[in-house]
A and B are shown apart, each in its own frame.
Chain A
Amino acid sequence: MKFFVSIVSISVLSYISGIYLPWWGIAVAGFVVAVLLQQKPALSFWSGFIGVFLLWLFLAWRINAANDGILAGRIGLLLGIGKSPLLLAVITGVIGGVVAGLGALSASYLHPRIKK
């Protein structure tokens, strides 16, 4: 449950930060949520990763669909990954996910070790 709440919180916070802060606000979002909601480091990382991966993938996918893939196709060729908007959206999600995941992972070490 905590895992799920973390994911949603990081997603929402990242989205809001994207409106006001530079792109790296997602790392801060992951960090803040992981401070507030204590989890094992691995789970913290994955909640940050999944939260922003899904957010960025969804946003990119939605923009791309409305754009009929005009721009993402061109950018894909420019970046050397071929004319594949979907692949570009996934790469976008992965990069966002890793950054937010690392932010959350960092914060998780501020908590005492969770003993089972």
Chain B
Amino acid sequence: MRIISFLFTTAATVLLVYLLNRPLGDKVPMPVGNFLSPQTGFWQNAEDTAAGFNADLSFPQLKGKAEVYFDERLVPHVFAENDEDLYFVQGYLHAKFRLFQMDLQTKAAEGRVSEIAGAKAINYDREQRRLGMKFAAENSLHTMEKDPKARAVYTAYTAGVNAYIHSLKKSDLPLEYKILNFEPEEWTNLRTALLLKMMAKMLASGTEKDLAYSRLHQVFSTSQINLLYPQIPDSLKPIVPPGDAFAKPAITPVMPADADSAYFKEVPPVTAFEQYTPDRDNGSNNWVVAGSKTASSAPILANDPHLELSLPSIWYEMQLSTPQGNTYGATLPGSPFVIIGFNDSIAWGVTNAQRDVKDYYAIRFKDSLRNAYWFENRWKLAQQRIEAIKVKGGATVYDTVAYTVFGPVMYDESFRDTLTKQNGLAVKWTAHHTGDDGNTFYLLNRAKNYDDYVNAIQFFECPGQNFVFASKSGTIALWQQGRFPARWNNQGMYVMPGTDRRYDWQGDIPQVENPHALNPARGYLFSANQRPADGAYPYYIPGAYITPRASAIELYLRSMNHITAADMMKLQNNYFNIMARDMMPLLLSYTDTSLLTPGAKKYYDQVRSWDLFAGPLSIGQTIYQTWMDSLSTNVWQDELARAGFKVEMPAEETLMELLKKDSAAMGYVDNINTPEQETLQMQVTDALNKTAKMLAGIEKEGRAEWAKFKDVSVYHLLKEALLPFAHTGLNVGGWGNIINAVKKSHGPSWRMVVQLGTPTEAYGVYPGGQSGNPGSRFYDNAINTWATGNYYRLWMMNRSEQGDARVKWRMNFVK
């Protein structure tokens, strides 16, 4: 025996195994040995392209039996005998195909990313917790579990997710768990509530600019800010057809008597800011045309929600059937129900309301303990919630958040409020106190007519949505739905005094007074994140509205007749730049061609002959958009810089509308940093000269075509960390203010067109695939169909069609 050699080599073996069994740092976060092992590691996630999805499964939680038929796109058609089994199977399938995404998104909602990503996510987690995301989810959960029927549905869904999680061996874990070296956590009803709060944050949290306005207010007056960020643009085409009368408001909020001094003049200096804000283009299109305008005389409904494009996609397509009815559409992994879709009688879709439902209140604490604050002339105790943030590879971070009558104190001395001692900013947000928003979808999935639809949507409180509706009986409707505070003029524009109740919201706008329209004479309705009503609506309803897309949709729908489903698909993919239609004449007429550089002159001639369509190959669109951006900077940047921080520039349509009325734009055109007086002609010409310099470089690199310039990409949820899992360089045109709203990696996350004739004709597509597994052929198989503007025919399968050639695999669920 050679003891030394033995000990030495054994130690070397153990050391090597040890090193290969743990993460090697940020670049290689996976234990390499396990990851490479063909029997346990990533190879196990490389799906056999010929493999099927047939299975016979047995779960004691089921009440009866259920069958799932997968079609050639891996869309499951679920047939269950009762609701609970239906949602059990939906939970199981969501988990089977999208577990990592559900797990990650709800952990992110709760402020637990540091557990996976380490110390770099602590600020994100603190912000989520200080916004009260979990607090909000707990409040919703309370209502969700109070009603026995709702409780049964959510519990069945949760049981389905967990049934899948428990069936997993380590070698079966989704790929991302193997890369990041962690394991999935059990699902709970709270996590479903958290997912819906994540949607609320995405859609109803970035719709206010209160902190930015408060800072701007140090430099600008309220009327100036209202001019720069107007609420009712001239080009507005609202949801409610202009001319429709509004009911007398049931509630008239009253401005506190001292508002002029205590609110409009003495806005406290604010240094706080939200770091992880949702994309301001999280918007959508939906519209519906009545039978009077269609070739088939059946109504047609269209919807395309614009969200961050990701792999796996936010949506998962499904058919959910019981003997009581069939529903088909886009589901949200992490939640039961179909969110956007159709059933045997109706179709519905959603766009974001963009309404401001979040305000801030200045809180004065008694001392740095932050457990009492001045309210109604006395020190009121603040509840404190201690947040423990676990950090991968580090010590747990504790954060104490004070809760006031308004809501959690999001910013204080310990978090991004560097100016004030013993003060804080409490956030009040409708999402903190909602009931069972999901109930709306449970009911919509089963709705048979307009009354059922109106009954269903009333449960939806946050995020405010525009629910578009059509029925086989020919009714079309569009309601803006949500719980919206009734505000006095300019209430909540800035941080409000938080020392008493007078500045609190005085009530909600009654649900029946929400802007809506039913069967209009013109035969069509649409929403595209624009303001829902014109100035005749009797409430002050601030929001982050987007105007141009609605104007473009109206332009087309007004003139179209004998409409077919194919026409509506074409419209969803339309590239007309309505903003440029109004702006180009101004740009061209204010260019002093004698002062253009030779390079700029070339682009000037080129853009002059542009057809105003932002197609993927368009160079005119690239010139226009960069010129416009450059002009916006020339006009606004000098004034906005006075605020001393980065602030979002006024919208393009604001500049356009201002310039149409006044070529000096009330003095903003002049550069205040120079002694001379700049004219619009000087600014427009200078903007093109600057743009030309940049564009010359772009053109040399061969990236002048719009799609190449934008570089459209769909990234994996973990973005740069998993860049090879992205789908890049897509040949798609469009922009945020164009109907086909594709930006760099943001845009139509699901396109659906439903013609409600007999039989129903439905089409849909989303940029992804049904499987979340990057090792599956169904991971990104639909992206090119989506990019080229094509659709799949959506198949509402009949139970008797089991033998249909489209059925590829079958999964049986028994007790």
B651: Cβ under 8 A from any A Cβ: no
Q: How far is the CB of B607 from chain A (nearest CB, A)?
A: 38
Of residues 1 to 60 in B, which have CB atoms within 8 Å of A's CB atoms? Answer: 1-3, 5-6, 9-10, 12-13, 16-17, 20-21, 28, 32-34, 36-51
Evaluate whether A109 and B9 lie within 8 angstroms (CB atoms) in the complex, with A23-B41, A70-B49, A96-B36 already known. Answer: yes
Q: Are B17 and A24 in contact, with the CB atoms below 8 A? A: yes
CB neighbours of B724 from chain A (8 A): 73-78
B538: Cβ under 8 A from any A Cβ: no
A27: Cβ under 8 A from any B Cβ: yes
CB neighbours of A70 from chain B (8 A): 46-47, 49, 774-777, 779
CB neighbours of B36 from chain A (8 A): 56, 91-92, 95-96
CB neighbours of A78 from chain B (8 A): 179, 722-725
Say which residue of B13, B37, B45 sits within 8 Å of A18 (CB atoms). B37
Q: Mark B155-174, 1 if CB is under 8 A from A, else 0.
A: 00000000000000010000
Q: Are A111 and B1 in contact, with the CB atoms below 8 A? A: yes
Q: Are A106 and B48 in contact, with the CB atoms below 8 A? A: no
Q: Are A67 and B46 in contact, with the CB atoms below 8 A? A: yes
Q: Are A99 and B45 in contact, with the CB atoms below 8 A? A: no
Q: Mark A56-100, 1 if CB is under 8 A from B, else 0.
A: 100110011011101111111111000000000001100110110
Evaluate whether A106 and B32 lie within 8 angstroms (CB atoms) in the complex, with A59-B38, A64-B46, A67-B49 already known. Answer: no
CB neighbours of B175 from chain A (8 A): 71
Q: Are B6 and A110 in contact, with the CB atoms below 8 A? A: yes
Q: How far is the CB of B17 from chain A (nearest CB, A)?
A: 5
Evaluate whether A106 and B42 lie within 8 angstroms (CB atoms) in the complex, with A22-B34, A74-B774, A77-B724 already known. Answer: no
Evaluate whether A66 and B49 lie within 8 angstroms (CB atoms) in the complex, with A23-B41, A99-B33 already known. Answer: yes
Q: How far is the CB of B41 from chain A (nearest CB, A)?
A: 7
Say which residue of A31, A59, A67, A73 sits within 8 Å of B39 (CB atoms). A59
Say which residue of A27, A67, A105 sits within 8 Å of B17 (CB atoms). A27
Bound state CA distance, A113 and B16, in angstroms?
25
Bound state CA distance, A115 and B49, in angstroms?
54
Q: Are B2 and A98 in contact, with the CB atoms below 8 A? A: no
Bound state CA distance, A56 and B42, in angstroms?
13
Say which residue of B3, B44, B49 sits within 8 Å of A68 (CB atoms). B49
Q: Are A95 and B20 in contact, with the CB atoms below 8 A? A: yes
CB neighbours of B13 from chain A (8 A): 27, 31, 99, 102-103, 105-106
Evaluate whether A23 and B775 lie within 8 angstroms (CB atoms) in the complex, with A70-B46, A77-B724, A78-B724 already known. Answer: no
Bound state CA distance, A100 and B48, in angstroms?
28
CB neighbours of B41 from chain A (8 A): 23
Evaluate whether A112 and B1 lie within 8 angstroms (CB atoms) in the complex, with A27-B13, A59-B38, A70-B49 already known. Answer: yes
Bound state CA distance, A78 and B38, in angstroms?
17
Chain B residue nearest in CB terms to A92: B36
Chain A residue nearest in CB terms to B44: A63
Bound state CA distance, A97 and B3, in angstroms?
24
A41: Cβ under 8 A from any B Cβ: yes
Q: Are B39 and A19 in contact, with the CB atoms below 8 A? A: yes
Say which residue of B6, B33, B38, B725 sits within 8 Å of A106 (CB atoms). B6
Q: Are B43 and A23 in contact, with the CB atoms below 8 A? A: no
Of residues 3 to 54 in A, which have CB atoms within 8 Å of B's CB atoms? Answer: 15, 18-19, 22-24, 26-27, 31, 41
Q: How far is the CB of A25 from chain B (nearest CB, A)?
A: 9
CB neighbours of A64 from chain B (8 A): 43, 46
Chain B residue nearest in CB terms to A15: B39
Q: Are B46 and A63 in contact, with the CB atoms below 8 A? A: yes
CB neighbours of B725 from chain A (8 A): 74, 78
Q: Are A109 and B40 in contact, with the CB atoms below 8 A? A: no
Bound state CA distance, A19 and B172, in angstroms?
12
Most buried by A among B10, B46, B725: B46
CB neighbours of A60 from chain B (8 A): 38, 43
Say which residue of A24, A41, A72 sits within 8 Å of B21 (CB atoms). A24
CB neighbours of A79 from chain B (8 A): 28
Most buried by A among B43, B50, B179, B722: B43
Q: Are A66 and B48 in contact, with the CB atoms below 8 A? A: yes
Bound state CA distance, A96 and B34, in angstroms?
10
Q: Are A95 and B33 in contact, with the CB atoms below 8 A? A: yes
Q: Are A102 and B40 in contact, with the CB atoms below 8 A? A: no
Q: Mark B69-102, 1 if CB is under 8 A from A, else 0.
A: 0000000000000000000000000000000000
Bound state CA distance, A22 and B618, in angstroms?
55
CB neighbours of B46 from chain A (8 A): 63-64, 66-67, 70-72
Q: Are B43 and A63 in contact, with the CB atoms below 8 A? A: yes
Chain B residue nearest in CB terms to A45: B9
Chain B residue nearest in CB terms to A60: B38
Q: Are B42 and A71 in contact, with the CB atoms below 8 A? A: yes
CB neighbours of A56 from chain B (8 A): 36-38
Chain A residue nearest in CB terms to B721: A78
Q: Are B43 and A109 in contact, with the CB atoms below 8 A? A: no
CB neighbours of B17 from chain A (8 A): 24, 27, 99
Q: Are A66 and B50 in contact, with the CB atoms below 8 A? A: yes
CB neighbours of A76 from chain B (8 A): 724
Q: Are A109 and B5 in contact, with the CB atoms below 8 A? A: yes
Bound state CA distance, A113 and B779, in angstroms?
56
Chain A residue nearest in CB terms to B32: A95
Bound state CA distance, A76 and B1, in angstroms?
43
CB neighbours of A92 from chain B (8 A): 36-38, 43
Q: How far is the CB of A24 from chain B (nearest CB, A)?
A: 5
Chain B residue nearest in CB terms to A109: B6
Of residues 718 to 737 in B, which have CB atoms within 8 Å of A's CB atoms? Answer: 722-725
CB neighbours of B722 from chain A (8 A): 78
CB neighbours of A59 from chain B (8 A): 38-39, 43
CB neighbours of B12 from chain A (8 A): 102, 106
Bound state CA distance, A31 and B623, in angstroms?
68
Bound state CA distance, A112 and B37, in angstroms?
33
Bound state CA distance, A40 and B138, in angstroms?
66
CB neighbours of A27 from chain B (8 A): 13, 17
Chain A residue nearest in CB terms to B179: A78
Chain A residue nearest in CB terms to B170: A22
CB neighbours of A71 from chain B (8 A): 42-43, 45-47, 175, 774-775
Bound state CA distance, A22 and B43, in angstroms?
15
Q: Mark B residues whose CB is within 8 Å of A.
A: 1-3, 5-6, 9-10, 12-13, 16-17, 20-21, 28, 32-34, 36-51, 170, 175, 179, 722-725, 774-777, 779
Listed by A's residue number, 18 A-B pairs whose Cβ atoms lie within 8 Å are: A23-B34, A27-B17, A41-B5, A56-B36, A56-B37, A63-B48, A67-B48, A70-B774, A70-B777, A71-B45, A71-B46, A72-B43, A96-B37, A99-B33, A102-B9, A102-B16, A109-B5, A110-B1
Given contacts A22-B34, A96-B37, 20 further A-B contacts (CB under 8 A): A18-B39, A18-B40, A22-B21, A22-B40, A23-B34, A24-B20, A24-B33, A63-B38, A64-B46, A67-B48, A71-B774, A74-B725, A95-B20, A95-B32, A95-B33, A99-B16, A103-B13, A106-B12, A109-B3, A110-B6
Across the A-B interface, the 8 shortest Cβ-Cβ residue pairs: A18-B39, A71-B775, A77-B724, A59-B38, A109-B6, A23-B37, A67-B46, A71-B46
